[in-house]
């Protein structure tokens, strides 16, 4: 590890400096200029290590090592928007040797793990390992906002059947909830307010919401809201859409201020009748993360994560009982793996061996690239008990985490591809 640590930290800092959140397409760059530059930097680095690389039209890149049956490592270089509340520059790539952290959007999700995996492959290559499988490190550029990168890859290349995604939690994920992003249209033709808006991404808890409305001083103070000019401002705390309880949704207090009690009831209390959906993969979560007022309506985009054994048809039938018009913006079926299968048991064994733990496989609400594979598992980098800053301000990765992930991913690739 000592031979690679400094380079990982330096290169991660450079990767973070690219604001690779989705931007308008330009000149053959489907997700924006910075996104494409980030992919080019990563692939150029891999090429300098002696790996074969491919750039599939700036949608997705690939680093290839070994020969034989394909084995995928699916990671991503795009990030969610920075959001507010940062005390470190979100795209500064700050290296802090005192706190032993690298700060910036993407440090943990998912530039850090992608880069660490690349260096794990380099370490195996430098050690003379000749994998009996073709390891394909596939780095997408649209994981956070629609998976168009994976759709494109499936058109121009052949997706491996088996692999991992270093984009969730340790010890190993055997199941992931289903995901559906639904945009509801609430009537607001005679609203006594205007320009209601908030949220930056469907899968990110809304941390800022504003509306032009009459000033009500007592209510502003009661709800802890701000008033600037003619605008009411609500500030919350962002979090990953799959764990809305870890954030503070800025939309809720605005609905209280505007007296939209029925909207609040449906979105934050009853949650369209879905509150009791649950199985071994956890309870259904619903997070109203984007709101916009236009054309006499209020549009609210909700991130719904439903239990892996639940049918999407059951979810939709329940929602439709409330007669609020909606459209589905994005949908992903659940992932469910055999806990005792070779992939899960091998990965679990590697994690326990490196850490000295006696952990068991877990299920999550997050949706990873693992479900793009016939047999895939999400594998790190987060661990229970750690501070989670994914999709939150002041995202960081510790030096200790870099070192631990390097050992784990290196051993996992060696075991699975020897």
Chunked into runs of 10 residues, the chain (418 residues) has average pLDDT values of 90 98 96 98 98 98 97 98 94 97 98 98 96 97 94 98 96 94 95 95 95 96 96 95 94 97 97 94 95 97 95 97 96 90 97 97 88 94 94 96 98 94
CATH 3.30.70.360 range(s) for the chain read 178-332
**Contact between 290 and 202 (Cβ < 8 Å):** yes
The CATH code of the domain at 5-177+334-417 is 3.40.630.10
Other Cβ atoms within 10 Å of 339 Cβ, number: 15
Beta bridge partners of residue 306, listed in sequence order: 178
User: What is d(CA 40, CA 215) in angstroms, rounded to the nearest whole number?
Assistant: 50
295: its two tokens: 């054309």
* End-to-end C-alpha distance for the chain, whole angstroms: 20
Cα–Cα–Cα angle for 42, 118, 122, rounded to 5 degrees: 120
CA distances from 414 to 335, 375, 406 (A): 25, 18, 12
User: What is d(CA 97, CA 142) in angstroms, rounded to the nearest whole number?
Assistant: 32
Work out the burial of residue 219: count CB atoms within 10 Å of its CB; fewer than 13 is exposed, 13-18 middle, 19 or more buried: middle
Q: What is the pLDDT of residue 84?
A: 87
Q: What is the pLDDT of residue 1?
A: 63
Q: What is the pLDDT of residue 293?
A: 97
Helices (H) and strands (E) in the chain, counts: 10, 24
Q: What is the pLDDT of residue 231?
A: 97
Q: What is the pLDDT of residue 42?
A: 98
User: What is d(CA 23, CA 136) in angstroms, rounded to the nearest whole number?
Assistant: 27
CATH 3.40.630.10 range(s) for the chain read 5-177+334-417
Q: Which fold has domain 178-332?
A: Alpha-Beta Plaits (3.30.70)
């Amino acid at each position: 590890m000592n031979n690679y640590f400094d380079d990982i930290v330096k290169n991660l800092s450079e990767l973070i400096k690219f604001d690779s959140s989705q931007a308008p397409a330009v000149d053959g760059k489907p997700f924006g200029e910075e996104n494409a530059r980030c992919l080019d930097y990563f692939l150029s680095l891999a090429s300098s290590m002696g790996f074969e690389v491919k750039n599939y039209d700036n949608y997705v890149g690939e680093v290839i090592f070994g020969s034989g049956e394909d084995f995928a490592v699916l990671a991503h270089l795009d990030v969610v928007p920075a959001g507010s509340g940062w005390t470190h520059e979100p795209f500064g790539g700050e290296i802090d040797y005192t706190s032993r952290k690298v700060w910036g959007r993407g440090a943990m999700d998912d530039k850090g793990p992608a880069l660490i995996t690349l260096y794990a492959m380099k370490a195996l290559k430098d050690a003379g390992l000749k994998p009996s499988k073709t390891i394909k490190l596939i780095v997408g550029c649209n994981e956070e906002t629609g998976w168009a990168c994976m759709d494109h890859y499936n058109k121009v290349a052949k997706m491996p059947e088996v692999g991992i995604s270093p984009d969730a939690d340790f010890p190993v994920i055997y199941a992931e909830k289903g995901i559906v992003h639904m945009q509801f249209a609430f009537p607001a033709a005679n609203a006594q307010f205007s320009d209601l808006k908030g949220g930056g991404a469907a899968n990110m808890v809304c941390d800022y919401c504003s509306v032009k409305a009459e000033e009500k001083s007592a209510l502003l103070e009661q709800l802890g809201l701000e008033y600037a000019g003619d605008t009411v401002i609500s500030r919350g705390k962002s979090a990953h859409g799959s764990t809305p309880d870890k954030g503070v949704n800025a939309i809720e207090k605005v609905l209280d201020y505007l007296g939209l009690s029925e909207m609040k009831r449906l979105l934050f209390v009853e949650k369209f009748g879905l509150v009791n959906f649950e199985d071994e993969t956890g309870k259904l979560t619903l997070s109203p993360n984007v709101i916009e007022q236009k054309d006499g309506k209020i549009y609210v985009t909700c991130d719904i994560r439903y239990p892996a054994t639940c049918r999407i048809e059951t979810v939709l039938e329940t929602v439709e009982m409330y007669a609020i018009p909606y459209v589905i913006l994005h949908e992903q079926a659940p992932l469910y793996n055999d806990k005792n299968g070779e992939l899960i048991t091998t990965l679990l064994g590697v994690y326990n061996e490196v850490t000295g733990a006696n952990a068991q496989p877990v299920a999550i609400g997050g949706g990873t690239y693992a479900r793009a594979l016939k047999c895939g598992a999400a594998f790190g980098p987060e661990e229970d008990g750690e501070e989670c800053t994914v999709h939150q301000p002041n995202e960081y990765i510790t030096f200790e985490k870099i070192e631990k992930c390097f050992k784990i991913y290196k051993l996992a690739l060696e075991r699975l591809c020897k």
